[in-house]
Amino acid sequence: MFDKQLSELAAHHLTRRLTPIQSGVGPMVEIAGRQILLLASNDYLGLAGHPEVIQSAIEATQQFGAGAGASRLLSGSLPPHQELESALAQFKGTEAALTFSSGYLANIGTIPTLIGRDGLILADRLCHASLIDGCRLSAADFRIYRHNDVSHLQSLLAKRRNGRRTLIVTDGLFSMDGDLAPLPELSRLAQDYEADLYIDDAHGTGVMGPHGRGTAEHFGLDTQIPFQMGTLGKAFGSSGAYLAGPSALIRYLINTSRSFIFTTAPPPSSAAAATAALRVMQREPERRARLWANRERLFSGLLRLGFNLSPSVSPIIPILVGNAEAALSFAEHLLAEGVYAPAIRPPTVPDETSRVRVTVTSEHQPSHIDHALIAFQRAGQLAGLI
Ligand SMILES: *Cc1c(COP(=O)(O)O)cnc(C)c1O
């Protein structure tokens, strides 16, 4: 029934397949019976496998059950969710926070409640798909500005109808490019034009800023961005997401956000694991230091080998290839050399910007990275990239 559509995808080298991992939480995992170095995880601080995080999940499961049983408005709100939300609000320096079952749900459930008919949304061209879907679900008009192009954004703001409510939407740290949104400029424009700024800091949370509070902290803008979304499935090593902001906003979301109201609450274990992860990441800042040292080692090594890297400033290091077929072939050569890093193709990224997306974590040893660089060199030569 879908054969025609699937062969169309195959003809364009856009078929996606799952790569089964037999065991391991990284950095070494078993794929097809071989030990492979994983350079693809967003578990940036290695917290998914941390004993204290795992123990908290086990205890919450024993105490409250494997699942939450219902939406929190239906069957009551459990202690792990409450504890997580107050810890997150404190961490982000906001009055309150609300957790969602995933980042995707947080974005599609928040944006339409923030702005509706008569409003205008201006979003960065490289925003995450969940932000785009959230914008589409809102009844507001929706325009795209060129990636990180502050003057393009300003011209759109200047052209809009007087007094029109406006929401500016951006990733903090871009998931497929590894660069940062120019938050100081965006924040200033938002003030000048009386617009609101919404940032999705899925990748920045735990990674950016002196305390890992995210991209806003990195720019010294801690308390100046009203709507901050982050996820718990990346540096937090668990799953779920949060929206941190003023308490009136949080109360409003509890009343109106469809992806909060009409879905089962995250399992108590995920919430407890996220709270434990937050505790560990604050207590062990050396994890972030190791992450950044690994990032420098890998980034400078890849640059030395002559790869075409995107202008990344983060642990997300995309190696630009161009067409989808070449990106796939590079990823296959890498896997043959013992390294797993995925080819990222349209529609995740724009046409002819296919890439292999490499991520490092705090758990890689310097020797892992040195071995990986040898694999990158061989695979890069075989794929004709260097
Ligand atoms: C991963 C990601 C999401 C989705 O978060 P999940 O919790 O995985 O659903 C949203 N926005 C960005 C920028 C992401 O990278």
Question: Stretch 67-81: mean pLDDT, rounded?
Answer: 95
Assess contact for 236 and 204: CB atoms under 8 A.
Answer: no
pLDDT above 80: residue 222: no
Whether 78 and 132 map to the same domain: the answer is: yes
pLDDT above 90: residue 316: yes
Distance between Cα 104 and ligand 1 center (Å): 6
Whether 277 and 292 map to the same domain: the answer is: no
What is the overall mean pLDDT for the chain? 96
**Cα 113 to Cα 260: distance, rounded to the nearest angstrom:** 11
What is the SS3 assignment for 207?
coil
User: Would residue 46 count as lying in a domain?
Assistant: no
Tell which residue, 223, 177, 183, has the closest CA to residue 344: 177
Residue range(s) defining the domain that contains residue 243: 51-283
Q: How far is Cα of residue 64 from the mean position of the Cα atoms in its chain?
A: 28
Whether 305 and 207 map to the same domain: the answer is: no
Cα dist from 191 to 168, 217, 283, whole Å: 11, 18, 35
Predicted model pTM: 0.96
Whether 180 and 301 map to the same domain: the answer is: no
pLDDT above 80: residue 224: no
User: How many domains are contained in the chain?
Assistant: 2
CATH number at residue 316: 3.90.1150.10
pLDDT for position 24: 86
User: Would residue 222 count as lying in a domain?
Assistant: yes
User: Would residue 246 count as lying in a domain?
Assistant: yes
* Domain boundary residue, one of 283, 310, 343: 283
DSSP sequence for 134-162:
HHHHSSSEEEEE-TT-HHHHHHHHHHSPT
pLDDT above 90: residue 223: no
Whether 73 and 146 map to the same domain: the answer is: yes
Report residue 304 as tokens: 């030395």
Whether 263 and 308 map to the same domain: the answer is: no
Q: Is 211 a catalytic residue?
A: no
Whether 238 and 185 map to the same domain: the answer is: yes
**Cα 238 to Cα 24: distance, rounded to the nearest angstrom:** 16
21-66 tens-digit pLDDT? 999 888 999 999 999 999 999 999 999 999 999 999 999 999 999 9
* Domain boundary residue, one of 235, 260, 283: 283
User: Would residue 43 count as lying in a domain?
Assistant: no
**Cα 143 to Cα 121: distance, rounded to the nearest angstrom:** 6
By percentage, how much of the chain surpasses pLDDT 70? 99
357 lines ligand 1 (CB under 6 A): no
Whether 276 and 334 map to the same domain: the answer is: no
Q: Burial, 17: exposed, middle or buried (Cβ in 10 Å; 0-12, 13-18, 19+)?
A: exposed
Tell which residue, 204, 212, 127, has the closest CA to residue 173: 204
pLDDT for position 162: 83
Question: Over the Cα atoms of the chain, what is R_g?
Answer: 21
Distance between Cα 359 and ligand 1 center (Å): 15
Assess contact for 305 and 373: CB atoms under 8 A.
Answer: yes
Assess contact for 95 and 245: CB atoms under 8 A.
Answer: yes
Distance between Cα 319 and ligand 1 center (Å): 21
Residue 33 DSSP class = T
Name the residue of 108, 125, 128 to mutate for ligand 1: max ligand atoms within 8 A of Cβ. Answer: 128
Whether 97 and 139 map to the same domain: the answer is: yes
Whether 87 and 29 map to the same domain: the answer is: no
Q: Is 175 a catalytic residue?
A: yes
Q: Is 159 a catalytic residue?
A: no
Whether 90 and 184 map to the same domain: the answer is: yes
CA-nearest residue, atom 6 of ligand 1: 103
CATH number at residue 236: 3.40.640.10
Whether 209 and 253 map to the same domain: the answer is: yes
Q: Where are the alpha helices (DSSP H) in 93-192?
A: 103-114, 129-137, 150-159, 183-192
CA-nearest residue, atom 8 of ligand 1: 103
* Domain boundary residue, one of 252, 283, 314: 283
